Structure formats: C-alpha cells, structure tokens
A = this chain, B = another copy of it.
Amino acid sequence: MTEKNFIFSILYDYYGDLLKDSQSNIIDLYYNQDYSLSEIAEEISISRQGVYDALKRAEKSLMEYEEKIKLHYKYDKYSKAAENIISLADKIKDKIYIDTINEIKAQANKIINEG
C-alpha cells in the first residue's frame, strides 16, 4: 500500500455526500479516522482485498467529481485571493483607516474560513 494521500480527505469533505454510503464509510474510516485496510475489513466484515477495491473505486469517484465540478480548485483560488487581500490591507498603516482595514480583513477571512 502506498502512503495515504490526504487530498482524498479534502475531496471527501466536498463530495462525500455524493458517494454511496458503503464507499463513504470506507473513505471516512481510512482517511479521517486513520484505520488500516485490515482494521476496516474487520469492522465491516469483508475481505481486505474487498476494502482495497472499494477504496480505490471511491477515490476514483472523488477525483472525477473534482474534475467535473472543481470545487477544491476554485476554493483554493478564492482563499489565495483573500489572503492576498489581507496582506495588502495590512500595508495601509494610517490609524484613521483601522476600522475599514479590519472590516476588509473580516470579509476576506469569511472567504478563507468557510471553504
């Protein structure tokens, strides 16, 4: 087994609700709750190979959703723009604008924190 790729944990946050319950459960156990394949096999009473196959199918589905919908890609762009806004706002040093700057930063943080 190769190392766990936690991009699937992120994609699961976005698209997990589109997976079948059984696949959703396996991704959650493997990536979010750090179970091994053997532990999942025991937990849901199927073979280790069965878990592996279901996991690969679920990962493939998550990648296909991202290719079609691009939510992770878009959110990544939005949050980078919002981070740039925050560092630009910090360049404005006049105390007279402090409330405005703080509001700009609060609005940008809304974008960053609500992905």
**A4 at interface, CB cutoff 8 A:** no
**A81 at interface, CB cutoff 8 A:** yes
How many residues belonging to A are interface residues under a CB distance threshold of 8 Å? 31
- Beta-carbon contact of A104 and B77 below 8 Å: no
* Number of identical monomers bound together in the oligomeric complex: 2
CA A88 to CA B111, docked complex, whole Å: 16
Q: Give me 6 A-to-B residue pairs in the complex whose CB atoms sit less than 8 angstroms apart, sorted by A's number.
A: A18-B69, A71-B71, A74-B114, A78-B78, A84-B107, A104-B104
Taking A17-B69, A84-B107, A94-B94 as given, write out 18 further A-B residue pairs in contact, using a Cβ cutoff of 8 Å, ordered by the A residue number.
Answer: A17-B68, A18-B69, A69-B69, A69-B71, A71-B71, A74-B115, A77-B111, A77-B114, A78-B78, A78-B111, A78-B114, A81-B107, A82-B111, A84-B103, A85-B85, A89-B104, A91-B100, A111-B111
